[in-house]
Amino acid sequence: MEHVFAHATTLALDEAFTIHADCDIVIRDGRIAAIGPNAGAAGSNTANARTIDARGLLLLPGLLNAHTHSPENFARGRDDGSLLDEWLPAVWSHIDALTPRELYVAAMMGAGEMLRSGATAVVDHFRQTPMHTAAIDAAAQAYEDAGIRAIVAPMLRDRVVPKGRTVAPVAEQVAVIEDAAGRWRARSNRVRIGFGPSAPNRCTDAMLQAVGAAARRCGTIIHTHVDEGQAETERTRALYGHSTVEHLRQLGLVSPALTIAHAVWIEPRDVETLAQGGAVVVHNPVSNMRLGDGVAPIAALRRAGVRIAIGTDGAASNDGQHYFEAIKLAMFLQRVSDAPPAQWMSARDILRHASNHAAFGFGTGTLRVGDPADLIGISTTSYGLTPANDWHRQLVYGAPALDVRFAMV
């Protein structure tokens, strides 16, 4: 089936931040086949095309929620006024043993909210203790059924285990994830399985090394928390005798396959280590503020060339999965930190970070011929875009007053 979105306004989010008015996008076999004024007439196989009148719509690439925890969709509003150390047991004692059916529903709820707020892809740092195949499959199946792109990265741990829970030996935990990665690679072109060690300090070196080897075999990512809260960061440095990032470097894990959430308390030398290794840092501004974690050094990371993505974090430390809200706060939080105005992100900068699909193997995150047809349509008459002074700025500043009319994956 071929689709033609006709007479839209398009934001490509490419290097030139191309904007086209009265633009057509031709979609064939799941990819963009042609784009530009009158592209529908020139590039469409009209006999099989379905034409959609897109006047009044702003079309742009779907965005990427690069860090969340789907079981937390059942834990909104559970706790308030707690730092990370108190918050974790208060929240997860309720949701660490959900049934597969409950896990499916929780992931489906999050997928719906993300799609309705502009995200067409997600990295789910998925926790259940103990981890098991049915739990992983439940979350993955929800994303497959919702139609969103997803990497489910189940949490592993063998050093710090929640009270009252038990975990399997390292080899058994890793084997469960590796088996799921193979099955879902064969089963879906949208959903993949990654490896999600909870945090380096919650895993022995033997587990981290086993995860690194398995991730290389599977060709998938490693997704983990690093230096989220100050107290935990200090304990980790005392454990290792150096920083968390340095420890990951010594284990050979700082690579383009490594994606780390938070990085609030990393050391200045860690920034260069992450840049040289090609790792990705996922900024989670809402949860960092809600839990009093602090402000991640995004300006320093950007100066060093570290790849940046944006996450909502889970719905128990955010209470929603509204992606444009996370983008707006990610941008403005830097302006009340120590970053001088010359280093503030622009709206275009933050939108490129929000569409950093390439860092996770989801595509380029732009609108160009050959790209996956992952795009969202926002009403140009929504409050946040009226009047139309600057599309990029108003997309960021106007959230959540935007009317996302559809998401296509």
- Give the list of residues 6+ apart from residue 256 with CB closer than 8 angstroms, or none: 277, 278, 279, 280, 359
CA atoms lying within 13 Å on the CB side of residue 201: 20
Which range has the worst mean pLDDT, 66-70, 133-137, 396-400? 396-400
Which residue stretches of 20-80 are H helix? 39-43
pLDDT for 21 beyond 80 = yes
| Rounded Cα gap, residues 206 and 280, in angstroms | 23
Average pLDDT, the chain: 95
Give the model's pLDDT for residue 45: 63
Which percentage of the chain shows pLDDT scores above 70?
99
| Rounded Cα gap, residues 39 and 46, in angstroms | 12
User: Is beta strand 19-28 parallel, antiparallel or unpaired with respect to 2-11?
Assistant: antiparallel
Residue type present at position 205? D
Give the model's pLDDT for residue 42: 67
- Give the list of residues 6+ apart from residue 22 with CB closer than 8 angstroms, or none: 7, 8, 9, 37
Of 340 and 217, the one with more pLDDT: 217
State mean pLDDT over 285-305. Answer: 96
pLDDT for 399 beyond 90 = no
- The string of pLDDT tens digits covering residues 92-122 is 988 998 999 999 999 999 999 999 999 999 9
Which range has the worst mean pLDDT, 43-57, 128-142, 286-300, 322-336? 43-57
Give the model's pLDDT for residue 47: 67
| Rounded Cα gap, residues 145 and 358, in angstroms | 23
State mean pLDDT over 45-59. Answer: 87
Give the model's pLDDT for residue 186: 97
With bands split at pLDDT 50, 70 and 90, how would you rate the model's confidence at 302? Answer: very high
- The string of pLDDT tens digits covering residues 148-166 is 999 999 999 999 898 889 9
Degrees (nearest 5) of the Cα angle 357, 153, 91? 115
Give the model's pLDDT for residue 93: 87
Of 398 and 106, the one with more pLDDT: 106
Give the model's pLDDT for residue 249: 98
State mean pLDDT over 224-243. Answer: 97
Distances (CA, A) of 105 to 65, 99, 325: 19, 10, 23
